[in-house]
């Protein structure tokens, strides 16, 4: 077994997930495509699969399930069945797709992630993974202490539900991870609330298409419901720091979104964007061609093409290209390899892999349901069969899967208007 290779950074002085930074040369500023309305795609395309690299949905019903073996990892037992609290009633009605709820029809927004409690819990675990990968830090931009106004784009859930129980030692009840926490609260630090606590003098705003405001929040934090892929209504030059994470597959025009972010930032303000690849891969060939793990990213990539909202933000280098085209100075670019499963030898990476696998395993169907049924034409039953194969593969210690993530920090020049 081998650990995921080190991240690379253009100006990094700190390690992420126990790896060592390496310098990379700066790319030339990209030229943006012709400016268009910020939202350019309105409905889902005709479902279907035409890519020869993608196995049909019917394939998975024909593949026999392997017998249980001693090699299968049973780390979590029945933890995936942990109960979650219902979310507070929202001001908008939700859509239901195959029993899962999604944001209401609002503008041209198309978020493929469910907004129900089960999926929120998975996203909360992924937040914990992200924090571990950043050595307990929830942000990496050099924003200093004197910031006045902050925006978190597509903030998602603002509370942790019962996720803390997933990280607690079953005998002592104490947190068994190395994450930081405030006071006696749960060890899962949800980005907005934690940031607002760290900067009590700052006005912190979270905006999302889905209204999921928790009941208890810091007094300097507020939530707004809006579609960030539409033209923004925030005052120009009004934010000191803007944070965005994990919007792949939901944005029709990244260049337009970056222009809105650039306009809303004060001169000298920072923008931090972390994005994940949908490709689940390995460096040692243990993710086999045609396996369930291999097909995950291929189906999502094809779905993004049909949907008009790419899942290849990392592969296409859209973060650097779009930010430079909008006018940002790139301060730092960090590549991360996120293990999926506890296969690394390094203890921190092993912990990251455990939680990462847990987040995916407990709601495979939620991650797939919208894009794979509405866009790719799968049935709910076909997804359930595929999900069983995926869960089996994820528990094999012989598969060393990971997915790339990229974090890019940009600064609006002091001379910009």
pLDDT exceeds 80 at position 145: yes
Give the tens place of pLDDT for each residue, 246-291: 888 889 999 999 999 999 999 999 999 999 999 999 999 999 999 9
Where do the structural domains in the chain lie, given as residue ranges?
Answer: 72-411
What's the confidence (pLDDT) of residue 26? 39
What's the confidence (pLDDT) of residue 374? 86
Greatest mean pLDDT among 47-61, 362-376, 403-417 lies in 403-417
Q: Are 394 and 340 in contact (CB under 8 A)?
A: yes
Of 78, 136, 73, the residue nearest 348 (C-alpha): 136
What's the confidence (pLDDT) of residue 56? 86
What's the confidence (pLDDT) of residue 52? 77
Across 326-332, average pLDDT: 98
Across 367-382, average pLDDT: 90
What's the confidence (pLDDT) of residue 214? 64
Right CATH for 72-411 from 3.40.50.150, 3.30.70.890, 3.40.50.1820, 3.30.870.10: 3.40.50.150
pLDDT exceeds 60 at position 223: yes
How far is it, in rounded angstroms, from Cα 276 to Cα 266?
A: 27
pLDDT exceeds 50 at position 18: no
Q: Taking the CB of residue 172, how many other CB atoms lie within 10 A of it?
A: 8
Give the tens place of pLDDT for each residue, 66-99: 555 545 554 433 333 332 233 233 334 455 655 5
What's the confidence (pLDDT) of residue 137? 92
How far is it, in rounded angstroms, from Cα 389 to Cα 379?
A: 16
For 256, 292, 371, the CA distances from 301, given in Å and listed in that order, are 21, 15, 10
Across 8-24, average pLDDT: 37
What's the confidence (pLDDT) of residue 90? 36
More confident residue, 275 or 64: 275
How far is it, in rounded angstroms, from Cα 23 to Cα 6?
A: 11
Report the share of the chain in percent with pLDDT over 70: 65
Q: Taking the CB of residue 26, how many other CB atoms lie within 10 A of it?
A: 13
pTM: 0.72
How far is it, in rounded angstroms, from Cα 132 to Cα 410?
A: 22
What's the confidence (pLDDT) of residue 37? 40
What's the confidence (pLDDT) of residue 217? 84
- Residue carrying structure tokens 């950043």: 134
pLDDT exceeds 60 at position 10: no
Give the tens place of pLDDT for each residue, 178-191: 322 222 222 233 77
Q: Are 124 and 163 in contact (CB under 8 A)?
A: yes
What's the confidence (pLDDT) of residue 354? 94
Q: At what angle do helices 292-307 and 380-394 cross, to 10 degrees?
A: 140
What's the confidence (pLDDT) of residue 15? 35
Greatest mean pLDDT among 7-21, 259-273, 362-376 lies in 259-273
CA angle 262, 255, 224 (to 5 degrees): 60
Q: What is the mean pLDDT of the chain?
A: 76
pLDDT exceeds 90 at position 317: yes
How far is it, in rounded angstroms, from Cα 203 to Cα 55?
A: 49
- Structural element, H or E, at residue 105: none
Across 209-219, average pLDDT: 72
What's the confidence (pLDDT) of residue 228? 87
What's the confidence (pLDDT) of residue 158? 40
More confident residue, 387 or 163: 387
What's the confidence (pLDDT) of residue 284? 98
Give the tens place of pLDDT for each residue, 95-111: 565 555 554 454 444 55
What's the confidence (pLDDT) of residue 301? 96
Cα-flanking dihedrals φ and ψ of residue 82, to 5°?
A: -55, 135
pLDDT exceeds 60 at position 294: yes
pLDDT exceeds 90 at position 162: no
Across 350-369, average pLDDT: 90
């Amino acid at each position: 077994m081998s650990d995921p290779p080190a991240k690379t950074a253009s100006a990094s002085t700190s390690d992420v997930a126990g790896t060592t930074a390496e310098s990379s040369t700066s790319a030339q500023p990209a030229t943006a495509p012709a400016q268009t309305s910020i939202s350019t795609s309105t409905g889902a395309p005709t479902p279907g699969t035409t890519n020869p690299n993608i196995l049909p949905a019917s394939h998975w019903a024909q593949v026999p399930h392997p017998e249980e073996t001693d090699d299968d990892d049973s780390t979590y037992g029945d933890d995936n069945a942990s109960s979650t609290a219902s979310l507070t009633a929202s001001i908008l009605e939700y859509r239901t797709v195959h029993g899962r709820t999604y944001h209401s029809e609002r503008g041209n927004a198309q978020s493929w992630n469910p907004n129900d409690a089960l999926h929120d819990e998975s996203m909360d675990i992924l937040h914990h993974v992200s924090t571990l990968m950043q050595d307990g830090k929830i942000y990496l931009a050099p924003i200093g202490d004197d910031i006045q106004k902050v925006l978190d784009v597509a903030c998602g859930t603002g509370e942790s539900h019962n996720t803390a129980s997933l990280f607690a030692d079953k005998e002592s009840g104490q947190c068994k991870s190395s994450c930081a926490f405030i006071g006696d609260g749960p060890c899962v630090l949800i980005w907005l609330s934690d940031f607002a606590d760290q900067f009590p003098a700052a006005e912190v705003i979270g905006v999302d298409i889905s209204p999921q405001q928790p009941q208890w929040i810091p007094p300097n934090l507020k939530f707004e419901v809006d579609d960030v892929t539409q033209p923004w209504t925030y005052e120009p030059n009004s934010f000191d720091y803007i944070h965005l994470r994990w919007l792949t597959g939901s944005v029709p025009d990244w260049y337009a979104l970056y222009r809105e972010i650039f306009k809303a930032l004060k001169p000298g303000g920072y923008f931090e964007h972390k994005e994940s690849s949908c490709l689940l891969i390995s460096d040692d060939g243990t993710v086999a061609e045609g396996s369930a793990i291999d097909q995950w990213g291929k189906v999502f990539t094809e779905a993004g093409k049909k949907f008009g909202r790419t899942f290849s933000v990392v592969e296409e280098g859209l973060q650097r290209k779009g930010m430079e085209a909008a006018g940002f100075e790139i301060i730092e670019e960090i590549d991360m390899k996120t293990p999926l499963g506890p296969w690394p030898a390094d203890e921190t990476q092993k912990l990251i892999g455990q939680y990462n696998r847990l987040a995916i395993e407990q709601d495979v169907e939620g991650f797939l349901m919208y894009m794979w049924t509405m866009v790719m034409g799968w049935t709910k039953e076909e997804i359930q069969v595929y999900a069983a194969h995926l869960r089996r593969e994820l528990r094999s210690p012989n598969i060393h899967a990971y997915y790339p993530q990229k974090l890019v920090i940009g600064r609006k020049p002091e001379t910009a208007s």
